[in-house]
């Protein structure tokens, strides 16, 4: 019985960890590409940064979805 509870907890922790890893990689890629785009076209920096901030927020939301789904 204890083994099933432990396996469920480990599976949930693994899910959250992978979601956090994916979000961290996504945020890093978004930031790198946004800074590269601003370097190529400095005049569009405001539009690029707004879209990058929105994309980062959506990438970070994945971690919260994983946290809430694991707790159920």
CATH number at residue 40: 1.20.20.10
Cα–Cα nearest to 27, from 61, 59, 63: 59
List Cα–Cα distances, 36 to 29, 40, 47, 48, 61, in angstroms.
10, 6, 14, 10, 24
Look at residues 7, 17, 49 and name the one whose alpha carbon lies nearest to residue 31: 49
Mean pLDDT, 10 residues at a time, over the chain (72 residues)?
Answer: 66 82 94 96 95 94 85 64
Q: What is the pLDDT of residue 4?
A: 62
Number of domains within the chain: 1
- Expressed as residue numbers, the domain containing 37 is 2-71
What is the pLDDT, as a whole number, of residue 72?
59
pLDDT at position 56 is 94
Q: Is 55 exposed, middle or buried (0-12, 13-18, 19+ CB in 10 A)?
A: middle
The pTM of the full predicted model, rounded to 2 decimals, is 0.77
The pLDDT value recorded for residue 64 is: 87
């Amino acid at each position: 019985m204890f083994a099933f509870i432990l396996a469920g907890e480990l599976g949930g922790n693994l899910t959250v960890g992978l979601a956090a890893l994916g979000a961290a990689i996504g945020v890093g890629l978004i930031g790198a590409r946004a800074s590269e785009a601003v370097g190529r076209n400095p005049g569009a920096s405001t539009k690029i940064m707004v879209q990058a901030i929105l994309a980062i927020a959506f990438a970070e939301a994945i971690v919260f979805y994983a946290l809430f789904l694991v707790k159920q």
